Structure 1
């Protein structure tokens, strides 16, 4: 008795379709510029889907299934996600294959209430080959999760402390909470002065609060060794910025009371697809001016 096929579950949150993915697909030869892709109404079933009556939606054909698979995987990697083979059949130099978005360790889906073990991503490439000529016949460019998950920066120099086999994923960081801790607790320990506060000190402080930053930070000094400025972007902030609507904003806030004499707090934010304002980077500078921004 055949086992009934289970329909994929994508959750109930709206999908996202990034213009950058379509542009990159065209540049990779996987999508012709004149192939229609529904981009305006997320309620339509064909939202994000590219199809041309089983014709090649790409610019060119490929000489083997391996060649077209490699091209698709290179595209995915360049856009911050990975593919896996979900189905493959071959016959007389041709066949069919389907490549879908691979679920990575620590992936954050937009539907927080969904069963994380059952949910999957709607993105796929359907490819077909006849007589050694392979083409993309259908694709769904939508995602239902943050991309660039699991990407981590390895140190540029070898250290003496062994790193884990699998890098930590910062999947549960709350950027607002990190900002609150630095402003309300860390600055007090430094008497409100930023001249001794470094990026390493910020990371150490947050680690003591149970937050593993895995962050990007930079600390600059003046020629005489005094503090100039420090910038801090948590790893989740990078993913938030990439998944947002490319509507960025910056703002500055003076520190309270006596601390106002020692620095200015700068914040960079991005707007998501539900019009939420999300902070993703912040810095401490002595004065608010164009150069520090």
Structure 2
């Protein structure tokens, strides 16, 4: 079990240095890393490239905290060095917190934020500690993390803007069965919309209602009874999306129906 603790970000020593690019560890180029617009209290200055120094590493003692795209541009232009802010004495948790703060400082990127939050949690921080440190509400933090519950292929597609973040959010809230149907749909057609997700969810809800075998089927004729059926469908759909066991939903509905039936008999 990972030990969890409150964030305690110590002042990070930073210097500005010209660093040979060959001394920097390989980096992933997937984020909008060159659009920092807000001053960072944690770092004390703005730079398009921020590196972390590892004194014990000799061959490549620097790793990238922020600025992958800028480094890509420099490599393409055959530059040999880069002016960067170099952080020293920072631990993994503090670096993860720095990445999250940098992501929050630029134009919102929910998936990058989710990955940064997940990285902090892997390092042992609690959701509450992250909320207290960043000023982001617990509700937003949990909403971001729900994005990462979607299949990895769809997360990658959202990063590439082949599907929207709102669609990814819908998929992340679905059961594994519906997620697989959404994944199959995307693999076959190459796109996935909110309507597609809702259609699979609704179809699953209809199957669920049919399997519940509740004694509401006899009342289907007037408008009031149709409203009851609609409410049941909404309840079942919500249960599916929230991963509430359908057995529990069935037990609750049957119990409620019995109570209503008993009261009706008493009144009559």
How does the TM-score come out when normalised to structure 1? 0.25
Higher gyration radius (CA): 2
Structure with the higher helix share, 1 or 2? 2
